Amino acid sequence: MKIEWRIKLSATGYTAVIRQDGPWWIGWIEEIPGVNCQGETREELIANLREALSEAIELNREDAKSAAGESFEEIAILLDRNPDPNARNLTAVQRAYR
């Protein structure tokens, strides 16, 4: 029998889908393609997912800044969760100028 869990990894709201597969725990981050891990225990899997997520975000950040060149603006994009799952509002918040 396979049981799947969804867990929040941090206050930023990333969601992991995890399950036990034989002796291993495996998991994926829903919001970031390619971020997936395994571990011998549930706790090890969650730690591995946190590390992989952190590394992926940092690499993406570096790539985006490099592609933008010398002069760019950074803004935070927040999703306002509406009770209606089909209605999402985006809010842009200015973060920094360069």
Q: Is residue 45 domain-resident?
A: yes
- What range defines the domain where residue 13 resides? 4-69
Work out the number of other CB atoms within 10 angstroms of the CB of residue 11: 6
Q: How many domains does the chain have?
A: 1
Give me the amino acid identity at 76: A
pLDDT grade for 7, boundaries at 50, 70 and 90: low
In the DSSP assignment, the letter for residue 33 is T
Q: Based on C-alpha coordinates, what's the Rg of the chain?
A: 17
Q: Is residue 29 domain-resident?
A: yes
How far apart CA 42 and CA 44 sit, in angstroms, is 6
Q: Is residue 90 domain-resident?
A: no
What are the tens digits of pLDDT across the range 50-91? Answer: 999 999 999 999 999 999 999 889 888 876 655 555 554 444
Find the CATH number of the domain harbouring 15.
Answer: 3.30.160
Q: Is residue 85 domain-resident?
A: no
What predicted TM-score, i.e. pTM, was given to this entire model?
0.68
Q: Is residue 79 domain-resident?
A: no
